[in-house]
Each structure stands twice: as structure tokens, then as C-alpha cells.
Amino acid sequence: MRKINLFAGMALAGLVLLGLTATADKTNANFTATSTNPSNTFGSATITMTNDKPNADDLVNVTNLVPGDTAARTVTITNSGNAGFTYTAAISATANTTLWSDTTNGLQVTVKRGATTLYTGALKNMSLAASSTVAAGGTDTLTYNFSFPTSGTNAMQGLTQDFTVTYTATQLAGSAK
């Protein structure tokens, strides 16, 4: 029995060796192909806004103001970037005279876009909600009608009130590209 097992083991080993020898001289060949998507890029947009009254005193610089005086001014917002945006406007001041703080007898303003009134009331409280879309290269014009009410008091004589209007652009919502 032992001779049969030995013989069977030798026979199996021979067959394995024969199988390895028979496949060793054969090569495997597979066809292949490649394809690419070269030079892909993403470029981000630029939001750039300017206005035609960017310097101190460009929008309004009135002296010798008396109750009942008015001043009409325009400012044009330009989208000089390459993507559309909306913008808001807010006001701030360094000085706090009664021309500013008295919301009834102090400085007043009405802001319009064309015939549409965007804000009317005390200059101190002016805030403009988001505009409609200003496309790349487009413009939007606002008209400011400032007034010093006839109810201005003697305590408002000789005062100087500064203020700054800040426009803030916000990109439009992203979209499928």
C-alpha cells in the first residue's frame, strides 16, 4: 500500500510539473485602449462693483443748509465684474448731530430707482433691500432726494453732519453648468 501511495504521489507531482512546463512557454495577450479628457479647467467669476461717486463729497456736499432746502443727486452702480449680482445699501455716520439723530426734524431722504420708491424717511435709518439683478457690464441708477424739513429747529444751526453710503454686492445663486 505504501508503494501505491508513493507511486500515486510521484505521479501527481509529475503531472503538476508537466502542467507548469506546458504553460510556461505560453504568453497572455490582451487588447487595451485608452481615452482621456485633457486640459479641463474651472475658472471662478469676479464680482466687482463701482459707483460714479466714489470720493468724499461726490454724492452731496451742501453748506449753509436751512430748513426747507432740498438736494437731488444720482449715483450709478456699475457691475464691472463678469457675473451678475444684486446689491444692498446701508448708511452710517461718524458724527451724531441732531441733523442725524432727530428722525423727524433732521435730515430726510427719498431713494428711487426710476419711478419706484425704495426708501423714504430719516436719513439715519436709510437701508435699501437687495436690488434686482445687475448683469455683468450692466448699471443701475439710484436717485437720492435729500431734504431738511421746515420743522428744523434753532438748535440745528451751525451743525455739520457726515455720512457714508455703503453698497454691498452679492453674487447670484449658483446654477448647473
Reading the chain (177 residues) residue by residue, the pLDDT tens digits are 555 665 556 666 665 555 555 555 677 889 999 999 999 999 999 999 999 999 999 999 999 999 999 999 999 999 999 999 999 999 999 999 999 999 999 999 999 999 999 999 999 999 999 999 999 999 999 999 999 999 999 999 999 999 999 999 999 998 888
Q: For residues 153 and 105, is the Cβ–Cβ distance under 8 A?
A: yes
Residue 51: inside a domain, yes or no? Answer: no
Sequence-ordered list of residues with C-beta below 8 angstroms from that of 161, at least 6 positions apart, any chain: 93, 95, 97, 99, 100, 106, 107
Does a structural domain hold residue 39? no
Does residue 154 form part of some domain?
yes
Task: Supply the range of the domain harboring residue 135.
Answer: 71-170
Q: Is residue 53 part of a domain?
A: no
Residue 82, domain member (yes or no): yes
- Structural domain contains residue 12: no
Number of domains in the chain: 1
The beta-strand segments (E) located in the chain are 49-51, 70-79, 85-92, 108-113, 116-122, 127-128, 139-147, 164-171
**pLDDT at position 17:** 54
- Does the residue 32 lie in any domain? no
Is 80 within 8 Å of 50 (Cβ atoms)? yes
Residue 2 placed within a domain: no
